């Protein structure tokens, strides 16, 4: 008997939403995509705020279990369906994953993701500042990825899924990946995983 599809409330050009979509696909879980029209304020309706009071995508509904926040969704899916492959139980290994989830919520959000918000969505951040933050982050990542093929070791984890989307799309925010061969090789390894699904490209920044 096939299991019911997990509902994913998403917006296709949101890197946060793409994290959830990518994880669902990598785990080969049946998914029903529900488009949330951010431009029309669909994320601020009472119906959506009942799912996530912060008014943000993504949100999943797994048979009545509602989970909001992209990194929380990754943890939930890994714990529920990942068979220990995507989120290790061993304390030091679990801490390595958490470190990179924090990077995704901090330096990635305030660096490459913010730079992309300027070019794709018209946000008014200090462009030089957010691009410099992105390059500072990428310099650290480039060094760490010289040691291991994935962020936390020899195999992928939710740490890689959490960081992939906005880094892969950094050129849309005028952040070049050319100086970072290890990062580009890491992106290619994620894109080669069975079940990988891309986020739609936007003709902006260096991608224009």
Average pLDDT on 69-73 reads 97
**Full-model pTM:** 0.93
Mean pLDDT (the chain) is 91
Domain 6-81: top CATH class:
alpha beta
- Read off the pLDDT of each residue in 75-85 and give the average, rounded to a whole number: 96
Domain boundaries, given as residue ranges, for the chain: 6-81, 91-207
Q: Tell me what the mean pLDDT of segment 15-42 comes to.
A: 93
Q: Cβ of 123: how many Cβ atoms within 10 Å?
A: 13
What six digits make up the tokens of 22? Answer: 């990518």
Encoding tokens for residue 135? 């390059």
Which of the four pLDDT bands, split at 50, 70 and 90, describes residue 62? very high
What are 59's strand-pairing partners? 9, 68
Residue 112: predicted pLDDT: 87
* pLDDT in the model for residue 123: 56
Alpha-carbon separation of residue 95 from 99, 110, 135 (angstroms): 6, 22, 24
Three-class SS state of 167: helix
CATH of span 91-207: 1.20.1050.10
């Amino acid at each position: 008997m096939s299991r019911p599809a997990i509902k994913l409330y998403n917006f296709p050009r949101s890197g946060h939403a793409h994290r959830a979509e990518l994880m669902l696909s990598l785990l080969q879980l049946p998914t029903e995509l529900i488009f949330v029209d951010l431009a029309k304020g669909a994320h601020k309706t009472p119906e959506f705020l009942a799912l996530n009071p912060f008014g943000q995508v993504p949100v999943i509904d797994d048979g009545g279990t509602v989970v909001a926040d992209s990194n929380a969704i990754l943890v939930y899916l890994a714990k529920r369906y990942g068979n220990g492959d995507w989120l290790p139980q061993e304390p030091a290994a679990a801490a390595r994953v958490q470190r990179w989830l924090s990077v995704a919520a901090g330096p990635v959000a305030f660096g490459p993701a913010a730079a992309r918000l300027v070019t794709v969505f018209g946000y008014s951040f200090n462009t030089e500042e957010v691009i410099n933050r992105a390059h500072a982050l990428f310099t650290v990542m480039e060094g760490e990825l010289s040691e291991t093929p994935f962020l936390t070791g020899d195999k992928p984890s939710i740490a890689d899924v959490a960081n992939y989307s906005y880094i892969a799309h950094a050129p849309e925010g005028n952040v070049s990946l050319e100086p970072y061969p290890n990062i580009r090789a890491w992106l290619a390894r994620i894109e080669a995983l069975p079940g990988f699904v891309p986020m739609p490209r936007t003709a902006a920044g260096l991608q224009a």
